[in-house]
Structures are given as structure tokens and as C-alpha cells.
């Protein structure tokens, strides 16, 4: 492999890593939205669609500590009286 090909591969890996991080953030936001809407009684936590969304999101790879910290931050921000 030439140095140019190696540099292009490095760039592609960095680009994909960035895209994965963005997708993980978006997944976390969706999870948090479901959590907030359920907590605020805006959606039924036992509905099939809510269960399906939660199941789908739970199968995706995420950092649990980041998810829990983000959920707490969002709940504190939006659920204040």
C-alpha cells in the first residue's frame, strides 16, 4: 500500500468513527425522549409502539454511564416544576 492509500484509509476510519459517535448521540436522545414522554404521562409505557421502540433502542450499543447521566440531565432540565 502506498502512503496515499494509508492516509485515505486513516481519514475514512476517522470519518466513520465520527459518524458512529453522532449516531450514538442521536440514539441516546431518542431513548431520553421516550423516557421523558413516559414520565410525563404523554405516552403509554405499556403500548406496543413504546415497547418496540425501547426494545430496538436497547439493542443498540451505547455507553450505559453516558446514557444514565444524559437521562438524569434531561429529566432535571425538563421535569422541574
Structural domains counted in the chain: 1
Percent of the chain whose predicted confidence (pLDDT) is above 70: 73
Average of per-residue pLDDT values in the chain: 75
pLDDT for position 81:
47
Q: How far apart are the first and last CA of the chain?
A: 61
Contact 71, 32 (CB under 8 A): yes
- Which grid coordinates belong to 5? 492509500
Domain interval for residue 58: 3-78
Q: Which residue has the cell 496515499?
A: 4
Q: Render pLDDT for 14-41 as a digit per residue (tens, 0 to 9).
A: 888 888 888 888 888 887 888 788 777 7
The pTM of the whole model exceeds 0.85: no
Residue partners of 31: CB distance under 8 A and separation at least 6: 54, 57, 62, 67, 71
Calpha distance 50→68 (Å, rounded): 19
Amino acid at each position: 500500500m502506498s502512503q496515499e492509500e494509508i492516509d485515505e484509509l486513516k481519514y475514512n476510519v476517522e470519518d466513520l468513527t465520527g459518524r458512529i459517535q453522532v449516531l450514538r448521540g442521536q440514539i441516546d436522545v431518542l431513548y431520553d425522549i421516550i423516557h421523558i414522554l413516559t414520565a410525563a404521562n404523554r405516552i403509554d409505557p405499556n403500548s406496543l409502539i413504546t415497547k418496540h421502540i425501547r426494545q430496538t433502542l436497547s439493542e443498540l450499543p451505547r455507553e450505559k454511564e453516558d446514557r444514565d447521566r444524559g437521562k438524569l440531565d434531561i429529566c432535571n432540565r425538563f421535569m422541574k416544576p
